[in-house]
Amino acid sequence: MQESDQPYMERALACARVARDAGEVPVGAVLVDTEGVVLAEAGNSPIATNDPTAHAELRALRAAAERCNNYRLPGTTLYVTLEPCPMCAGALVHARVARIVYGAADPRAGACGSVLNIAQCDALNHRIDVVGGVGAEQSAALLKGFFAERR
Protein backbone atom coordinates (compact mmCIF):
# COMPACT_ATOMS: atom_id res chain seq x y z
CA MET A 1 0.00 0.00 0.00
CA GLN A 2 1.09 3.52 -0.71
CA GLU A 3 0.20 6.40 1.60
CA SER A 4 -1.60 8.05 -1.29
CA ASP A 5 -3.99 5.07 -1.59
CA GLN A 6 -6.06 5.88 1.50
CA PRO A 7 -7.84 9.05 0.26
CA TYR A 8 -8.97 7.29 -2.91
CA MET A 9 -10.20 4.29 -0.92
CA GLU A 10 -12.17 6.73 1.25
CA ARG A 11 -13.84 8.00 -1.92
CA ALA A 12 -14.61 4.43 -2.98
CA LEU A 13 -16.13 3.79 0.46
CA ALA A 14 -18.30 6.90 0.02
CA CYS A 15 -19.52 5.49 -3.33
CA ALA A 16 -20.28 2.18 -1.60
CA ARG A 17 -22.38 3.99 1.03
CA VAL A 18 -24.37 5.73 -1.71
CA ALA A 19 -25.00 2.34 -3.34
CA ARG A 20 -26.07 0.88 0.03
CA ASP A 21 -28.45 3.76 0.64
CA ALA A 22 -30.01 3.04 -2.76
CA GLY A 23 -30.56 -0.61 -1.81
CA GLU A 24 -27.62 -1.96 -3.79
CA VAL A 25 -24.82 -4.18 -2.51
CA PRO A 26 -22.38 -1.61 -1.08
CA VAL A 27 -19.44 -1.67 -3.44
CA GLY A 28 -17.75 1.49 -4.67
CA ALA A 29 -14.98 2.14 -7.18
CA VAL A 30 -12.76 5.08 -8.13
CA LEU A 31 -10.49 5.13 -11.18
CA VAL A 32 -7.46 7.45 -11.03
CA ASP A 33 -4.97 8.43 -13.73
CA THR A 34 -1.18 8.57 -13.40
CA GLU A 35 -1.34 12.14 -12.06
CA GLY A 36 -3.85 11.23 -9.35
CA VAL A 37 -6.80 12.81 -11.15
CA VAL A 38 -10.07 10.99 -10.55
CA LEU A 39 -11.38 9.94 -13.95
CA ALA A 40 -14.56 8.31 -12.67
CA GLU A 41 -16.24 6.95 -9.58
CA ALA A 42 -19.30 4.76 -9.16
CA GLY A 43 -21.21 2.43 -6.91
CA ASN A 44 -23.01 -0.79 -7.71
CA SER A 45 -26.34 -0.41 -9.51
CA PRO A 46 -27.45 -3.74 -11.04
CA ILE A 47 -30.76 -3.72 -9.16
CA ALA A 48 -31.80 -0.19 -10.13
CA THR A 49 -30.67 -0.61 -13.74
CA ASN A 50 -31.73 -4.24 -14.22
CA ASP A 51 -28.23 -4.76 -15.55
CA PRO A 52 -26.14 -7.65 -14.22
CA THR A 53 -23.00 -5.92 -15.50
CA ALA A 54 -23.59 -2.68 -13.55
CA HIS A 55 -20.91 -3.44 -10.97
CA ALA A 56 -19.09 -0.41 -9.57
CA GLU A 57 -15.87 -1.32 -11.39
CA LEU A 58 -17.51 -1.57 -14.80
CA ARG A 59 -19.51 1.61 -14.31
CA ALA A 60 -16.28 3.45 -13.42
CA LEU A 61 -14.46 1.92 -16.42
CA ARG A 62 -17.24 2.94 -18.80
CA ALA A 63 -17.34 6.50 -17.51
CA ALA A 64 -13.55 6.88 -17.61
CA ALA A 65 -13.31 5.41 -21.12
CA GLU A 66 -15.94 7.84 -22.34
CA ARG A 67 -14.22 10.76 -20.61
CA CYS A 68 -10.82 9.79 -22.09
CA ASN A 69 -12.34 8.86 -25.45
CA ASN A 70 -10.41 5.60 -25.32
CA TYR A 71 -11.28 2.08 -24.22
CA ARG A 72 -7.69 1.60 -23.08
CA LEU A 73 -6.82 3.17 -19.74
CA PRO A 74 -3.09 2.45 -19.30
CA GLY A 75 -1.37 3.66 -16.16
CA THR A 76 -4.61 3.97 -14.22
CA THR A 77 -5.35 2.65 -10.75
CA LEU A 78 -8.73 1.30 -9.69
CA TYR A 79 -9.69 1.59 -6.03
CA VAL A 80 -12.56 -0.70 -5.14
CA THR A 81 -14.04 -1.72 -1.82
CA LEU A 82 -14.44 -5.41 -2.71
CA GLU A 83 -12.07 -7.66 -4.64
CA PRO A 84 -13.24 -7.69 -8.28
CA CYS A 85 -15.21 -10.66 -9.62
CA PRO A 86 -14.16 -12.52 -12.81
CA MET A 87 -16.28 -10.27 -15.05
CA CYS A 88 -14.77 -7.09 -13.63
CA ALA A 89 -11.22 -8.44 -13.48
CA GLY A 90 -11.47 -9.45 -17.14
CA ALA A 91 -12.68 -6.00 -18.13
CA LEU A 92 -9.87 -4.37 -16.14
CA VAL A 93 -7.32 -6.53 -17.99
CA HIS A 94 -8.85 -5.56 -21.36
CA ALA A 95 -8.78 -1.87 -20.39
CA ARG A 96 -5.07 -2.20 -19.49
CA VAL A 97 -5.55 -0.83 -15.98
CA ALA A 98 -2.13 -0.84 -14.30
CA ARG A 99 -3.09 -1.36 -10.67
CA ILE A 100 -6.02 -2.56 -8.56
CA VAL A 101 -6.28 -1.59 -4.89
CA TYR A 102 -9.14 -3.35 -3.13
CA GLY A 103 -10.54 -3.40 0.37
CA ALA A 104 -12.22 -6.64 1.39
CA ALA A 105 -11.25 -9.96 -0.16
CA ASP A 106 -14.06 -11.98 -1.75
CA PRO A 107 -13.62 -15.64 -0.81
CA ARG A 108 -16.55 -16.68 -3.03
CA ALA A 109 -15.92 -14.83 -6.28
CA GLY A 110 -12.67 -12.86 -5.98
CA ALA A 111 -10.67 -12.88 -9.20
CA CYS A 112 -7.57 -11.05 -7.98
CA GLY A 113 -6.14 -13.86 -5.92
CA SER A 114 -8.84 -15.20 -3.59
CA VAL A 115 -10.58 -17.73 -5.87
CA LEU A 116 -9.05 -16.95 -9.27
CA ASN A 117 -6.30 -14.62 -10.34
CA ILE A 118 -7.40 -13.18 -13.66
CA ALA A 119 -5.60 -9.92 -12.90
CA GLN A 120 -2.22 -11.65 -12.97
CA CYS A 121 -2.84 -14.62 -15.24
CA ASP A 122 0.22 -15.47 -17.33
CA ALA A 123 -1.99 -16.72 -20.17
CA LEU A 124 -3.35 -13.22 -20.76
CA ASN A 125 -1.52 -10.41 -22.55
CA HIS A 126 -1.74 -7.92 -19.67
CA ARG A 127 -1.19 -8.29 -15.95
CA ILE A 128 -2.30 -5.90 -13.24
CA ASP A 129 -0.48 -5.12 -10.00
CA VAL A 130 -2.84 -5.92 -7.13
CA VAL A 131 -2.86 -4.64 -3.56
CA GLY A 132 -5.52 -6.01 -1.23
CA GLY A 133 -6.64 -5.09 2.25
CA VAL A 134 -6.66 -1.28 1.96
CA GLY A 135 -9.70 -0.21 3.95
CA ALA A 136 -10.62 -3.86 4.43
CA GLU A 137 -12.29 -3.42 7.81
CA GLN A 138 -14.56 -0.59 6.67
CA SER A 139 -15.37 -2.37 3.41
CA ALA A 140 -16.21 -5.64 5.17
CA ALA A 141 -18.30 -3.82 7.79
CA LEU A 142 -20.40 -2.17 5.07
CA LEU A 143 -21.03 -5.51 3.40
CA LYS A 144 -21.78 -7.37 6.65
CA GLY A 145 -24.14 -4.65 7.81
CA PHE A 146 -25.97 -4.60 4.48
CA PHE A 147 -26.53 -8.35 4.41
CA ALA A 148 -27.43 -8.52 8.13
CA GLU A 149 -30.24 -6.00 7.52
CA ARG A 150 -31.59 -8.03 4.61
CA ARG A 151 -31.82 -11.28 6.56
Q: Is 10 one of the annotated active-site residues of the chain?
A: no
The dihedral built from the CA positions of residue 87, 68, 45 and 21, taken in this order, carries a sign that is positive
- Cβ contacts of residue 123 below 8 Å, gap of 6+? none
Q: Torsions phi, psi of 129, nearest 5?
A: -70, 135
CA distance 74 to 91: 13
The one catalytic residue in 24, 41, 57, 83 is: 57
- Cβ contacts of residue 111 below 8 Å, gap of 6+? 83, 84, 85, 86, 88, 89, 90, 117, 118, 119
**DSSP assignment letter at 125:** S
Cα-only R_g, the chain? 14
Catalytic residue set: 57
